[in-house]
Amino acid sequence: MTISRRAGMWILVLGLVLAFLTPGVAAKGPAPRAQAGVSIENPYIKIVVAAEGTMTMGTTGGSPDVSGDENKRLLFGFPEASRTGFPSLRLIKGDKTIDIRLDELTPAEGPHIQGQAIVTRWQAEGILVTQEIGFFTNPYSGRPDMAHIRYTVRNQSSEALQAGVRCVLDIQVGDNDYAPFFLPGFGTTNREMSFEGGSIPDYYKAYESPDFDEDALRGMGFARGFGLTVPDRLAIATWQASRGGGVGIFGTAWDYTVDPTAEIGDSTVVYWWNPRALAANAEYTVSTVYGLAGPAGGTAALSVPASVGCSVEPFELLLTVRNTSLEVLRNGSAMLGLPAGTNLAPGYHATVGLGDLAPGQMTTVSWQAQITALDPGNVVFVATVSFDNLPAPLTATATVQRPDCRPPTATPTPTLPYIPIQSPTPTVALTPTPMPPSEVPEPASLLLLLGGLGGLAAWARRHRRR
């Protein structure tokens, strides 16, 4: 018996130590109580509601347009039932204001499936709050890949009062618990922001990619339109101060002041529907949606001639822009980047307005440009297309080949060693010295000579006979 008691004590201590050391508990505030959640799912998403009425959700098959987004988180805690995102109630009775976190109450009616939704009910101070979470057909994808979150507030008391609802969603997209946001009209952000009245954007997107990659998993929530109830206030906030800038929304029941300089460390979206008058037995309903983002915005393509030779005549660049989403792309503009050695023909401007582009609509922009550079190589043109409700511009590139258009260079004459040229020595014509003519014998002398020669010949004949 003693051994058994001692073993039980050690098991209890070990259990407490393991619970204390479990990773992630401190990161998200108080440890979520393990509860058997109630869930509904379809081929795209799964919604889970814990016993306290808190919700989480993620993908099943995800979007057919995105590869690799299956079985991923859209809210923290998925696929387990998690006590993170929660609703709150504010009551005003005369001069008394009462704020209640409904997840801290035991529901009057625990989560259960009713029709196509998970229903939870709370009672507090004579008010009945009914939460219904079901599927919603995404107007941008045409698929039931969003959660429709509805709150009905009913005054069960016999006196008039005011009642409002706040909804906190603990955003996590895929593995990114610090998911950055895009809001149309405001751009991309990872800072705390708050909007009221007419400044509230139509929707927000939360990204798994820190670089806002439209081909990765994206969450999306609506604030207005499609039969939903525009909140009186919408905020992008940090879940808990230890995980980012700002005070952190987790420890609050209603009021929260954002810090615009605070970088969000743990992404959260908060909706406020302010208290409104409720007579005895009167009620009202508010609703919003959150789930998968629709297909990414659009495409852009730039067409140019493959080559223009050495001509400096203008040629056409044709930009084609198509809206491939199911939302209107608003206030578009196209800008053509001109590389060095090029310019636009007179009358053309680098930036051209596109206006709005309806779903499936296509538009074109034409420029006339010329290449003045003479060097050979590829001339690359880049067109950038921006819309107010796209987080990143569309880009299109095209290349024109340019041959060597420089004038030919003359062949240089070889340089020979320098040899000085000497002037020729002038030839002097010599005048021969006249020689005196040989003396010609006188005729008498000649005859005497010939006679002597004849006598000599006769003498020679006589002596040869002897």
Q: In the chain, what are the domains?
A: 31-292 (2.70.98.40), 298-402 (2.60.40.10)
CA 70 to chain centroid, in Å, comes to 22
DSSP bridge pairs for 316: 368
Q: Is the pLDDT of residue 27 over 50?
A: no
Distance (Å, rounded) from C-alpha 98 to C-alpha 413? 101
Distance (Å, rounded) from C-alpha 303 to C-alpha 42? 42
pLDDT on residue 22: 37
Distances (CA, A) of 245 to 6, 175, 257: 46, 20, 12
The answer to whether residues 306 and 400 touch, using CB atoms and an 8 Å cutoff, is yes
C-alpha gyration radius of the chain: 51
pLDDT digits (tens, 9 = 90+) for 178-221: 999 999 888 899 999 999 999 999 999 999 999 888 888 999 99
pLDDT digits (tens, 9 = 90+) for 356-381: 998 889 999 999 999 988 888 899 99
Residues whose CB is less than 8 angstroms from the CB of residue 175 and which lie 6 or more positions away in sequence, other chains included: 72, 73, 208
Q: Is the pLDDT of residue 466 over 50?
A: no
User: Left (φ > 0), alpha (ψ -120 to 50) or beta: where does 145 sit?
Assistant: alpha
Tokens of 405: 């258009």
pLDDT digits (tens, 9 = 90+) for 334-351: 999 999 999 999 999 999
Length of the chain: 466
Distances (CA, A) of 295 to 20, 111, 360, 440: 43, 32, 12, 138
Q: Is the pLDDT of residue 420 over 80?
A: no
Task: Kindly state the DSSP code that residue 242 receives in the 8-state scheme.
Answer: G
pLDDT band at 31 (very low <50, low <70, confident <90, very high): very low
pLDDT digits (tens, 9 = 90+) for 119-132: 999 999 999 999 99
Cα torsion angle, 351, 353, 359, 363, sign: negative
- Give me the chain's average pLDDT, please: 85
Tokens of 94: 């005369």
Distance (Å, rounded) from C-alpha 63 to C-alpha 39? 20
Q: Is 158 exposed, middle or buried (0-12, 13-18, 19+ CB in 10 A)?
A: exposed
pLDDT on residue 243: 78
Q: Provide mean pLDDT across the span 305-317.
A: 89
pLDDT on residue 413: 65
Q: Is the pLDDT of residue 437 over 70?
A: no
pLDDT on residue 139: 86
Distance (Å, rounded) from C-alpha 226 to C-alpha 122? 27
Instruction: Enter the pTM of the model.
Output: 0.69
Main-chain phi, psi angles of 104, to 5 degrees = -90, -5
Distances (CA, A) of 139 to 117, 295, 326, 356: 19, 11, 7, 18
* Residue 166 amino acid letter: R
Which of 31, 32, 30, 37 lies closest to 110, judged by CA? Answer: 37
Work out the percent of the chain whose per-residue pLDDT is above 90: 61
Q: Provide mean pLDDT across the span 116-145.
A: 95
The answer to whether residues 358 and 414 touch, using CB atoms and an 8 Å cutoff, is no
pLDDT on residue 67: 84
Beta-sheet strands, E only, within 232-328 = 233-238, 267-278, 283-292, 298-303, 315-323
DSSP bridge pairs for 163: 91, 276
* Residue 45 amino acid letter: I
pLDDT digits (tens, 9 = 90+) for 52-89: 999 999 999 999 878 899 999 999 999 999 888 899 99
Query: 11 or 137: whose pLDDT is higher?
Result: 137
pLDDT on residue 357: 92
**CB atoms inside a 10 Å sphere around CB 161:** 21
pLDDT on residue 431: 57
Query: 217 or 409: whose pLDDT is higher?
Result: 217
The answer to whether residues 144 and 135 touch, using CB atoms and an 8 Å cutoff, is yes
The pairing of beta strand 127-136 with beta strand 267-278: unpaired
The answer to whether residues 321 and 298 touch, using CB atoms and an 8 Å cutoff, is yes
Distance (Å, rounded) from C-alpha 329 to C-alpha 248? 34
pLDDT band at 93 (very low <50, low <70, confident <90, very high): very high
Distance (Å, rounded) from C-alpha 174 to C-alpha 209? 9
The answer to whether residues 49 and 81 touch, using CB atoms and an 8 Å cutoff, is yes
Residue with tokens 């050495």: 310
Distance (Å, rounded) from C-alpha 153 to C-alpha 392? 40
Q: Provide mean pLDDT across the span 126-151.
A: 95
Work out the percent of the chain whose per-residue pLDDT is above 70: 80
Q: Provide mean pLDDT across the span 315-321.
A: 94
Asked which of 94-108, 143-157, 394-408 is least confident by mean pLDDT, the reply is 394-408
Q: Is the pLDDT of residue 15 over 90?
A: no
Distances (CA, A) of 50 to 13, 53, 350, 368: 28, 5, 56, 62
Q: Is the pLDDT of residue 414 over 90?
A: no
Query: 265 or 455: whose pLDDT is higher?
Result: 265
The answer to whether residues 44 and 72 touch, using CB atoms and an 8 Å cutoff, is no
Tokens of 250: 């987790």
DSSP bridge pairs for 158: none
